[in-house]
Structure 1
């Protein structure tokens, strides 16, 4: 391997992180609102929506290994991975707009349109995000710098998550003048334009420093053979699948939890008591006194409460991310990730035991969950880059993209399964979007889906970490020996 200086400038770290901000404006929307968009906006039955999300997502997931093989064999003057970020920027934006459009087709036509546009979106997402993720493995070989890059990157992810989870429903109502159908189309158009611009910035500001030596050649069979013998890779594949099943399941259920379980009266009183309504009124007064248009905010308590709930969790995740690098440098990524994941799972479990009136406890638990999950958030991707180093260390060949294909495969498979579970569980428990008040059985299903079920899936990931052998000592050994080889 050849490598230049392993230090990465702040400008490059920011430029790289903007790519994740761009992708997550779309990804977080899929994870949190796709089932809601299909069932409540495009009026597709929950069971059918579940099948669409699962089928489209799994097709995209199985495209990832193919994309990994293609990316590892891409040779351009810009590198292996950067060109794909540029080439897919516009198609990604276009497919995002189409996937959240609502053409007036027959019921059967709506199903076909939703399946085709979602399937194409996740395929383009793979062609963009797999090379983007792989790029983090070749920006530097310094594991301390890699932890720093991950922290920058996931601050950007949290910004995107804040925009989507805290502000998307208000934006939908604002940009649609109260019409959710029109609002989703206009909001996703805005996200798509921002995304294209940020992808181009990522391409222009980054540099691939770890370059395979010219004589390195390996067949697809050899690359796949290295994978199946790479125990840390196998563990990370399982972990990633279960983490994204969890994120998609609980994230997709929160909106139903606020709409159908929590007491609207108590939620409204809580927002008034903490000064949130006064803050919005003061913001409106300030803007109008300056001659500007007032800041329109949804007046119904569930939408306001849901947005504030997500905003609080995301802010605490950012706080958690700020301490992640220091803890990982001291104790190692694996151990810090496992502990943070377990504690955040225990926080989720508490949601099942709260009454509809326990608004303050719901919000406090979300803050705690956000902080502890935030500590582990950057470490997942940094650990995958370490697995690529581990493969090179063991086999003396580097195949970065095929390694990262595990992450994106797991992400897509988890998104497909978790998203399908949201709609499938709603159908199983008898959810009917036409009912003002859901049945007790449906309410219980919603509660289980954002507490007990995601706790179990998070805990599967924690158990897998016991079999992930790259601890702090092994990290240092791999880094030092690879640096010697690359010299």
Structure 2
């Protein structure tokens, strides 16, 4: 194994982090708006939206990701294994994101087919871009402390993308479309495609692969898969990743329904009035006249700002106590604040906002650690088997991400339909039945809390604690130096 534990410059860390900012302009849009886009903008029935997100997502998870992982691990180029994938998928990914959120004037059957095809292409290109990007973090350096630092930079960038999408995107869509959501989202996605492409190109040009397998470590796909399924930490992290993204997709996609159908509009207007007045007074009228979209944006803003603050504590805590213990504690405490939403009546807007910011802070502490732990699993595999297969390990985690995203997004559309939700196709200005409010409340409280708690339980069996992290890093460094 060539090269060693290296200190990474701030310039390279920032350049690397921009790749995740770009990817998350797409990913956060999927998490936050996919179900809403299909039901309230594109005009699909909630049941059909649920079927498309689940079926296409499962195909992408179990089909696209292992294929890309196997190919990326066997890529040989003057740029390395993973950086070429970032370069050559940057432009196609932006185009696919724009097409997936376009609203061509087809009949209903044509709309369903178009949605399924464009969503499939988007997930394929997302896998081809983001999987090698994620694997790149495992070969930029072999220093686990530096990996913790890189992950912190990376997830601050993720939070900026999330902040834009969840806070400003809906008001901007309404503004640039002059109330026409379909026209507005096409304009916004066009700009996101251009900006995201430029950021991915910056990532390609500013990063370097330093951990390079030697000839002696070469293996075939059969050996890689055999190593994978004997790797207990990998099996646990696959399950944890799936559960985490079920929760993120479920509550992230449900908040727009929660604000539109559960939160009391008068109480919300009263609560956010001082904030919007302040922004208006300094010429920053981001939120327009729509009280619920403004409340939705500010609610997300509070959580994301506190998440960014939480991230700043992540590296020091992980260095001291180990990634596993910090991540497990972060998930557990943040789940308690998700559960609190079950007990708030529609008028308790201040308590909703307080719970959101506390959830954001505690979840933020663990946010960077998931992908850093997966890089550690790649080291664990090399440590045990004397062969390194970084991308296929990350591809398996991307399976968990895609499956979690698909199940969580599908559950949003399916659960809301079970509570009687009427999509735009049935009438643009239809009043929703009272049962929808109860469904929306459950989708941001009890239902998303369950996967997080299951993930906490699984992490108790994850063997790479602080002591083992130090041992693996020491042994691998010794081997590489030899």
TM-score, scaled relative to structure 2: 0.97
* Superposition deviation, residue 281 in structure 1: 2.0
Residue 53 of structure 1 contacts residue 416 of structure 1 at CA under 8 Å; is this kept in 2?
yes
Residue 485 (str. 1) matches residue 470 (str. 2)? no
Cα deviation for residue 297 of structure 1 reads 3.0
Aligned residues of 2:6 and 2:142 also touching (Cα < 8 A): yes
1:442 to 436, 439, 442: 436
Using the TM superposition, give the Cα deviation of residue 58 of structure 1 relative to its aligned residue in structure 2, in angstroms.
Answer: 1.3
Q: Which of these residues, 379, 384, 408, is aligned with residue 369 of structure 2?
A: 379
What corresponds to 2:211 in structure 1? 210
CA displacement at 1:295 relative to structure 2: 4.1
1:451 match: 445
1:396 pairs with 2:369: no
Aligned length: 476
Hey, what does 1:428 align to over in structure 2?
418
Q: Secondary structure at the match of 1:76?
A: coil
Q: Is the 8 A contact 1:135 1:208 kept in 2?
A: yes
In the TM superposition, 1:55-70 aligns within 5 A as 55-62=55-62, 63-70=64-71
Identify the residue that residue 195 of structure 1 maps to in structure 2: 196
Cα distance, 1:436 vs structure 2: 4.9
Mapped to 1, the partners of 2:4 and 2:438 lie a distance apart of: 57
Residues 1:448 and 1:295: Cα distance change in structure 2 (over 3 Å): closer
**Mapped pair 1:8 → 2:2:** no
Deviations 1:228-281 (A, max 9, x none): 000000000000001001000000000010000010011001112xx2121232
CA shift at 1:296, angstroms?
Answer: 5.4
Partner of 1:238: 239
Contact 1:260-1:437 at 8 Å conserved across structures = no
Distance 2:458 2:395 in 1: 19
Please state if 1:463 is matched with 2:457. yes
Q: In the alignment, does 2:336 pair up with 1:336?
A: no
Could you list the per-position Cα deviations for residues 360-391 of structure 1 after superposition, in whole angstroms to 9, with x for gaps in the alignment?
00000000000000000000000000000000
Quote the Cα distance in structure 1 between the aligned partners of 2:233 and 2:163. Answer: 32
Asked if 1:136 corresponds to 2:137, the answer is yes
Asked whether the 8 Å contact 2:4–2:142 carries over to 1, the reply is no
- Which one is further off, 343-352 or 437-446? 437-446
Distance 1:263-1:436 versus aligned 2 partners, 3 A rule: farther
2:245–2:404 CA contact under 8 A, matched in 1: yes
Q: Give the Cα–Cα distance (whole angstroms) in 2 for the partners of residues 145 and 280 of structure 1.
A: 39
Is 2:26 aligned against 1:26?
A: yes
2:280 paired residue number = 281
For structure 2, list consecutive stretches of 5 or more residues without a partner in the other structure: none
Q: Aligned partners of 1:138 and 1:158: how far apart in 2?
A: 23
In the aligned structure 2, how far is the partner of 1:49 from the partner of 1:115? Answer: 9
Q: What pairs up with 1:408-423 in 2 under 5 angstroms?
A: 408-423=398-413
Partners of 2:4 and 2:234 lie apart in 1 by 27
Instruction: Identify the residue that residue 41 of structure 2 maps to in structure 1.
Output: 41
Given that 2:60 and 2:124 are in contact with CA atoms closer than 8 Å, whether structure 1 keeps it comes out as yes
Contact 2:239 2:455 in 1 (8 A): yes
TM-score by length of 1: 0.96
Q: 2:320 & 2:461 partners in 1: Cα distance?
A: 21
How many Å separate the matches in 1 of 2:292 and 2:82?
A: 43
Q: Residues 59-98 of structure 1 correspond to what in structure 2 (within 5 A)?
A: 59-62=59-62, 63-98=64-99
SS at match of 2:214: coil
Higher mean C-alpha deviation, range 434-443 or range 349-358: 434-443
Q: Is the partner of 1:156 in helix, strand or coil?
A: helix
Contact 2:261 2:436 in 1 (8 A): no
8 A contact 1:236–1:406 mirrored in 2: no
Are 2:5 and 2:477, in contact at CA under 8 Å, matched by a contact in 1?
Answer: no
